Amino acid sequence: KCELRCNLLPAKNGEEPTIQFLLEMVDILTNYVKKTFDRSTKVLDFHHPHQLLEGMEGFNLELSDQPESLEQILVDCRDTLKYGVRTGHPRFFNQLSSGLDIIGLAGEWLTSTANTNMFTYEIAPVFVLMEQLTLKKMREMIGWPDGEGDGLFSPGGAISNMYSVMIARYKYFPEVKTKGMSAAPRLVLFTSEHSHYSIKKAGAALGFGSENVILLSTDERGRVIPADLEAKIIDAKQKGYVPLFVNATAGSTVYGAFDPINEIADICEKYNLWLHVDYIKTYIKLCRANSVTWNPHKMMGVPLQCSAILVREKGIMAGCNSMCAGYLFQPDKQYDVTYDTGDKAIQCGRHVDIFKFWLMWKAKGTIGFEQHIDKCLDLSQYLYNKIKNREGYEMVFDGVPQHTNVCFWYIPPSLRGMPDGDERREKLHRVAPKIKAMMMESGTTMVGYQPQGNKVNFFRMVVSNPAATQSDIDFLIDEIERMGNDL
Amino acid sequence: KCELRCNLLPAKNGEEPTIQFLLEMVDILTNYVKKTFDRSTKVLDFHHPHQLLEGMEGFNLELSDQPESLEQILVDCRDTLKYGVRTGHPRFFNQLSSGLDIIGLAGEWLTSTANTNMFTYEIAPVFVLMEQLTLKKMREMIGWPDGEGDGLFSPGGAISNMYSVMIARYKYFPEVKTKGMSAAPRLVLFTSEHSHYSIKKAGAALGFGSENVILLSTDERGRVIPADLEAKIIDAKQKGYVPLFVNATAGSTVYGAFDPINEIADICEKYNLWLHVDYIKTYIKLCRANSVTWNPHKMMGVPLQCSAILVREKGIMAGCNSMCAGYLFQPDKQYDVTYDTGDKAIQCGRHVDIFKFWLMWKAKGTIGFEQHIDKCLDLSQYLYNKIKNREGYEMVFDGVPQHTNVCFWYIPPSLRGMPDGDERREKLHRVAPKIKAMMMESGTTMVGYQPQGNKVNFFRMVVSNPAATQSDIDFLIDEIERMGNDL
C-alpha cells in the first residue's frame, strides 16, 4: 500500500509522481472552484453528524495505523469537499466571511507551499517585510500620521481584540506584566451590549473577570449611547474601580452599527481611557483610536485567517509581550534584528497570513477593495428597499442600514393577523430556525439568524460575497417565502 | 489594467481564465517544490531588509491604489518565492518545523479552497468531525482511557500552552472567570528554566505576572530536578502563595530534554497541582497529565500551523471559555449543537488546521509517523556519533541525545589550544553567529544557535526534515568546518 505514496518527494526520482499527484489534486480543486460559482449546484449537501460519522458511501473519517493508497487519498479529498459547505457560493450569506477570491486563493496556495513562520526575518524575509509595509499602509488609511505605530497580524479578530486589552493594561499598569493583576486596582473595561463577545472573553482570559467588562446600552439602531458610557465610568469610579479601556465598534456583528466614535473618544480623553476600535473596513478615519482591530477576512474578502491589530504607540507591543527568548531572537545575527517580530506576539510560531492579502491588494489596488465594498453596500441597500414595505416582512430597526447588515423578520401568513403578545413572539421565534433548517436540508442558500436582547429570532443578512448579485438576493427572498409560507 | 483580473470568476465566462490563472500559479509552485528538494539549489538567497525594501530587480513590495496586471501578479509570486527561505530543503535544519510534506501540502491547498471556519458544524461539518476524531485518537495515544477528554486545535503551541494555564485556573478557581484574579490568592506556576518561553508569556498575559512563573532548576541534561520543584512548592506555600500548575516538557526546545514526568506527577498529586505536559511526539504515555500540548507541525512534519491542546476533563474547556454568543451558537439549530466548537475557544473565527494533518494520517497511517520519527532519531544519532570525538567539537552535554536535538560547539583551530577563561569564552561566543552568517550569505545550509544559561553560543541541530539524509549531515559538518576553520 505504501508503494505510491513512497514514490513522492523526497523519494529518489520522486519529481514526476509528485507533480502528477499535485496536478490530480489541483484538478479536484479547480472543479470545486468551478462548481462553487455555479448557481445550479447546491451550497451544501447537508448531513447530520451521526450520518457523516457512520460513513457516507465509503467516506470513512476514522484514522488507522496503516496507510491508505494515494488513489484513496484523492477520493477522500473529493468526499471532504462534497460534504462540506461552499462558502464561496453566490448564495452563501451565512457569515460576513464569504466568497472565494481567486487571487487570495492562489496566494494561500503559495503560502502553504512556502510553509514558513513569521517569527523571524531569518526564515520569512519577504513575508515579514510585506507585513510591515501592509500594516503601515493600513495605519495610514485609518488616518494615523505617516502610518506610524505598531501592529501584527493575528489568528483572528478575537485574538486581535485580546491584544488591545493586554496592551492597554500594559500602558497604564506595566507592572502587571511581572507582578500580575494584584499589582493593579480593580480595572474595568467597557463595550457595547451589541459588541462582539470576544471583548468579554478577553476580560475573562486576561484576569479582569467578565463582570468587570461593563456592557453599554445602545440606541434602537444598536449604537452605544455616549451618555451611558460616561455615567458608567462615573459609577465605576465612585465604587473605587479604575476604568481602563473602551471598545467602540465600527460595524457591529448583528446590526452593522457604528458607535459614535468621536463622542466616545471625547469621553476617553476626558477620563484618560484607552480607546480601541473593532473595525469593519469602510471609509472612516480612526485618528483618535489607541488601537484598532481590522479583519481583512471579513468585508475585504481575504481568505481566512487574516486579522490585524494596529496600535498607535510604536514599540509598546514588544514592551507588553517580550520575554527575550535567546534561542529564537539572538541579538547577534548578521541582519537588523528589529525586523524579527516574534517577541512582540503572544504566539511563538505564527502562520503567514499576510501574503494572500498583500497579493490581493496588488491585484486590486486600494480602489479594487473600495469598489468591492461599494458593491456589497449597494446590494444590501437593494435588499432593504425590496423588503422594507413588502408584505410579510418587519425590519428589526428603522431606517437604512449603516452597513451591509439587514436584519428582518419574515412573518408567515398564519402570524400576520395575530396581535403582538407572548404567543406571537413564541411562534415568531421559531420561524427563522425552521426556515434556516429547511434551507440547509435543501441546500439552496444559507443566511444567519439569532435573537438579540428581547428581540426574538430574526434573519441577519450580511453581504460580503463578491459573487452575489441582485438575482441572488431575489432568490433568497423567494426561498424564505417558499419555505415560510406554510409555517 | 483591470481587464485580465476582471475576467476571473465570479465574472461571466470566468471559468476558463480562472483555471488558466490557477494552473499558471500551480506551475510556479510545482517548480518551486521540485527545486526545494534539489540539493543543487540554495536553501536561500539572502538579502538584508533594506535591500529587499529598495526593490530587487523590479520586485516592488509597496502597495498602491491601482491594480497590477495578472502577469505582474505571477511575477510577484515568483519573486516572493525566490527571495524566501526553502524550509523544505534537505539542508534546512534551522527550526524543528522543517520539511515539506507533499500530502500535507495538498491538504493545505484543499483547506484554502474550502475556505471555511471551525466555529460551527454548520459551516464546517466534515472538518469539525475530523478534528473531533483526531483529538480522540491523540488522547488514546497518550494513554487516556478510551481517548476521553476535551481539546481543540489552536494557532500554535504558545496558545495551546496558554489554554492549559487558563483551564487549570478555571478548574481550581472558577470564579476568576467572572471576578478576575482578585478573586484568587496569589497563584504560582512552575516550569523548567529550559522550557519554552510561552509559559512565561501566558503567565504575563493571563494576569498571573511573569514573576509568579517560577523557573525550575535542571540537571546537566536540561531535565527538571524533581526535588527542586518540591522545594519551590514548599517555599511558595510558606510565603502564602498558592501553587497551581506545573509545566513539564517532553522534548525541550534547546536540549530536547525530557523532564521526569512520573516523579513530577507524584509531586503534583501530593500537592494537588495541575500537570501540563508540553509534548514533542514520541512514544511516551502521559496518562497522568491533566493537559497536554501536542504540536503536529513540529516532529510530525505537518505544515504550519497545527497544534493541539488536549485536556483530560471533558467539558472543562467550554466551562472555562464559553460566553454563549447567541448570534453564532444558536441552541435551536436542527442538528446536534454540541458539535459546535466555537464557544470553547478563545478565538471566534478559527482556521481549519485539521485537514492536512488528518490527510497525512490517512496517507501514512500511525506507523508512517512512527517511521518518520525513528528516521529523524537515527539521523541525530548519526550526527552525535560523528562529532562526539571529532577534533574541533565539544558537546554541550554528555551522553546520547534524548531526542533529535544535538547541541555542540565547533572550536576553530585558533581556539583549540587556548585555556578556558573569559577570553576563550568571548571568542567562542562569536563563532556560531559568524558561521551562521556565512551559511546564510552563501545559502548552502541553515542551523540554529543560541546561548543557554552560562553557556556561550552553541549550535543546536534538530532533525525533523524527512528529506534529510546522512549525506546532508555530512554536508553540514563540512560546511561548519570550511567556514569556521579560519575564525
Question: Is the C-alpha dihedral spanning B37, B39, B41, B46 positive or negative?
Answer: positive
Residues 377-396 in B contacting A (C-alpha not used; CB under 8 Å): none
Residue of A48, A64, A115, A309 to mutate, interface with B, max B Cβ within 10 Å: A115
Contact B19, A34 (CB under 8 A): yes
Model pLDDT, residue A259: 97
At residue B280, the 3 state secondary structure works out as coil
Is B401 found in the same domain as B346?
A: no
Residue of B23, B73, B76, B347 to mutate, interface with A, max A Cβ within 10 Å: B347
Cα R_g (chain B), whole angstroms: 25
Q: Which residues of A touch B334 (CB under 8 A)?
A: 433, 436-437, 440-441
Is B282 found in the same domain as B136?
A: yes
Give A358→chain B minimum CA distance, Å. 8
Within a domain: A345: yes
Exposure of B215 by Cβ count < 10 A (0-12 exposed, 13-18 middle, 19+ buried)? middle
Nearest residue in A to B347, CA atom:
A158
Model pLDDT, residue A326: 65
Q: Which of A292, A321, A351 is the last residue of a domain?
A: A351
> Which triple of cell numbers denotes residue A469?
448579485
- Give B246's strand partners: B190, B275
Mean pLDDT lowest among A275-284, A337-346, B375-384, B392-401: A275-284
Model pLDDT, residue A6: 84
As a whole number of angstroms, the distance between CA A281 and CA A370 comes to 9
| CB–CB contact A34 B15 (8 Å) | yes
As a whole number of angstroms, the distance between CA B135 and CA B151 comes to 7
Within a domain: B106: no
Is B58 found in the same domain as B17?
A: yes
Provide the CB-side half-sphere exposure for A76 (13 A, CA).
Answer: 23
> Which triple of cell numbers denotes residue A65?
495505523
Model pLDDT, residue A463: 94
- Candidate from B97, B157, B365 with C-beta closest to A66: B365
Model pLDDT, residue B3: 61
Concatenating the DSSP letter of every residue in A393-419 gives: EEESSSSS-SSS-EEEEE--HHHHTPP
Is B377 found in the same domain as B336?
A: no
Is A224 found in the same domain as A75?
A: no
Within a domain: B93: no
Give B381→chain A minimum CA distance, Å. 21
| CB–CB contact A102 B49 (8 Å) | no
Q: Is the pLDDT of residue B374 over 60?
A: yes
Phi-psi region of A13 (alpha: psi -120 to 50; beta: other; left: phi over 0): left
- Give A408's strand partners: A395, A459
Is B264 found in the same domain as B408?
A: no
| CB–CB contact A117 B304 (8 Å) | yes
At residue A248, the 3 state secondary structure works out as strand
Query: Which amino acid appears at position A294 of this protein?
Result: W
| CB–CB contact B32 A336 (8 Å) | no
As a whole number of angstroms, the distance between CA A330 and CA B434 comes to 12
| CB–CB contact B156 A53 (8 Å) | no
| CB–CB contact B29 A113 (8 Å) | yes
| CB–CB contact A10 B339 (8 Å) | no
As a whole number of angstroms, the distance between CA B402 and CA B221 comes to 9
List, for residues B252-310, the tens digit of each pLDDT value: 999 999 999 999 999 999 999 999 999 987 778 899 999 999 999 999 999 999 999 99
- Candidate from B68, B166, B207 with C-beta closest to A176: B207
Q: Which residues of B touch A350 (CB under 8 A)?
A: 155-156, 305
**DSSP assigned state of A217:** P
Instruction: Kindly state whether B335 is in contact with chain A, defined as any CB-CB distance less than 8 angstroms.
Output: yes
Instruction: Kindly state whether B56 is in contact with chain A, defined as any CB-CB distance less than 8 angstroms.
Output: no
As a whole number of angstroms, the distance between CA B351 and CA B349 comes to 7
As a whole number of angstroms, the distance between CA B91 and CA B71 comes to 32
- Candidate from B52, B121, B305 with C-beta closest to A349: B305
Query: Which amino acid appears at position B172 of this protein?
Result: Y
Q: What angle separates helix B226-238 from helix B261-271, to the nearest 10 degrees?
A: 20
| CB–CB contact B204 A253 (8 Å) | no
Q: Which residues of B touch A115 (CB under 8 A)?
A: 87-88, 100, 105, 303-304
> Which triple of cell numbers denotes residue B111?
483547506
Nearest residue in A to B19, CA atom:
A30
* Helix residue spans in B37-69 (DSSP H): 49-54
Instruction: Kindly state whether A466 is in contact with chain B, defined as any CB-CB distance less than 8 angstroms.
Output: yes
Give B219→chain A minimum CA distance, Å. 19
Share of chain B above pLDDT 70, in %: 98
Instruction: Kindly state whether A4 is in contact with chain B, defined as any CB-CB distance less than 8 angstroms.
Output: no
Residue of B26, B210, B242 to mutate, interface with A, max A Cβ within 10 Å: B26
> Which triple of cell numbers denotes residue B12?
461571466
Which residue bears the cell 468621536?
A262
Contact A446, A92 (CB under 8 A): yes
- Candidate from A2, A133, A209 with C-beta closest to B62: A133
Q: Which residues of B touch A133 (CB under 8 A)?
A: 53, 61-63
Mean pLDDT lowest among A232-236, A271-275, B311-315, B341-345: B341-345
Model pLDDT, residue B168: 98
Q: Which residues of B touch A76 (CB under 8 A)?
A: 359, 362
Is A337 found in the same domain as A207?
A: yes
| CB–CB contact A367 B326 (8 Å) | no
Within a domain: A212: yes
A429: CATH = 3.90.1150.170
Q: Is the pLDDT of residue B191 over 60?
A: yes
Model pLDDT, residue B5: 76
**What is the pLDDT confidence band of residue B57, given thresholds at 50, 70 and 90?**
confident
State how beta strands A213-216 and A242-250 pair. unpaired
Q: Which residues of A touch B116 (CB under 8 A)?
A: 84-85, 87, 304
Nearest residue in A to B325, CA atom:
A197
Q: Which of B295, B321, B351 is the last residue of a domain?
A: B351
Average pLDDT, chain B: 95
Instruction: Kindly state whether A178 is in contact with chain B, defined as any CB-CB distance less than 8 angstroms.
Output: yes
Give B120→chain A minimum CA distance, Å. 11
Is B342 found in the same domain as B409?
A: no
Give A226→chain B minimum CA distance, Å. 24
> Which triple of cell numbers denotes residue A32?
470545486
**Residue-range definition of the domain harbouring residue B30:** 2-86
Measured CA distances, B360 to A82, B74, B296, B302, B366 (Å): 19, 29, 11, 8, 10
Instruction: Kindly state whether B439 is in contact with chain A, defined as any CB-CB distance less than 8 angstroms.
Output: no
Q: Which residues of B touch A111 (CB under 8 A)?
A: 112
Q: How many domains does chain B have?
A: 3
Residues 134-173 in B contacting A (C-alpha not used; CB under 8 Å): 134, 137, 155-159, 162, 166
Model pLDDT, residue A328: 65
Q: Which of A65, A86, A107 is the last residue of a domain?
A: A86
Within a domain: B26: yes
Q: pLDDT tens per residue, chain A (487 residues)?
A: 556 678 999 999 999 999 999 999 999 999 999 999 999 999 999 999 999 999 888 899 999 999 999 999 999 999 999 999 999 999 999 998 999 999 999 999 999 999 999 999 999 999 999 999 999 999 999 999 999 999 999 999 999 999 999 999 999 999 999 999 999 999 999 999 999 899 999 999 999 999 999 999 999 999 999 999 999 999 999 999 999 999 999 999 999 999 999 999 999 999 999 999 999 877 788 999 999 999 999 999 999 999 999 999 999 999 999 987 666 677 889 999 999 998 899 999 999 999 999 999 999 999 999 999 999 999 999 999 999 999 999 999 998 888 999 999 999 999 999 999 999 999 999 999 999 999 999 999 999 999 999 999 999 999 999 999 999 999 999 999 999 999 9
Please give the helix or strand (H or E) that residue B100 lies within, else none.
none
Model pLDDT, residue A327: 64
Q: Which residues of A touch B50 (CB under 8 A)?
A: 336
Nearest residue in B to A75, CA atom:
B359
Residue from B34, B58, B98, B137 nearest B462 by CA = B98
The set of long-range contacts for A138-141, using a CB threshold of 8 Å and a minimum separation of 24, is A138/A294, A138/A308, A138/A310, A139/A310, A141/A366
C-beta atoms surrounding B406 within 10 Å:
28
Q: Which residues of B touch A52 (CB under 8 A)?
A: 125-126, 129
As a whole number of angstroms, the distance between CA A150 and CA A156 comes to 17
- Which residues, other chains included, contact B197 with Cβ-Cβ below 8 Å and sequence gap of 6+? A323, A325, A348
C-beta atoms surrounding B185 within 10 Å:
12
Tell me how long chain A is: 487
Query: Which amino acid appears at position B120 of this protein?
Result: T
Is B128 found in the same domain as B72?
A: no
Asked if omega into A10 is within 30° of 0 (cis), the reply is: yes
Is B178 found in the same domain as B279?
A: yes
Asked if omega into B10 is within 30° of 0 (cis), the reply is: yes
> Which triple of cell numbers denotes residue A12?
529518489
Within a domain: A50: yes
Q: Which residues of B touch A30 (CB under 8 A)?
A: 18-19, 22-23
> Which triple of cell numbers denotes residue A253?
456583528
CB pairs under 8 A between A and B: 516
ipTM attached to this prediction: 0.97
Asked if omega into A305 is within 30° of 0 (cis), the reply is: yes
Model pLDDT, residue B323: 87
Is A139 found in the same domain as A249?
A: yes
| CB–CB contact B49 A336 (8 Å) | yes
Nearest residue in B to A212, CA atom:
B179
Residue from B277, B283, B284, B281 nearest B299 by CA = B281
Within a domain: B182: yes
Please give the helix or strand (H or E) that residue A30 lies within, else none.
helix A15-36
- Candidate from A107, A348, A363 with C-beta closest to B198: A348
Within a domain: A107: no
Which residue bears the cell 575564525?
B487
When pLDDT is averaged across residues B152-177 and rounded to a whole number, the result is 98
> Which triple of cell numbers denotes residue B193?
528554566
Instruction: Kindly state whether B60 is in contact with chain A, defined as any CB-CB distance less than 8 angstroms.
Output: no
List, for residues B128-142, the tens digit of each pLDDT value: 999 999 999 999 999
Which residue bears the cell 530534554?
B257
Nearest residue in A to B357, CA atom:
A63
Q: Which residues of A touch B454 (CB under 8 A)?
A: none
Q: Give residue B128's Cα distance to chain centre.
A: 22
Is A298 found in the same domain as A170?
A: yes
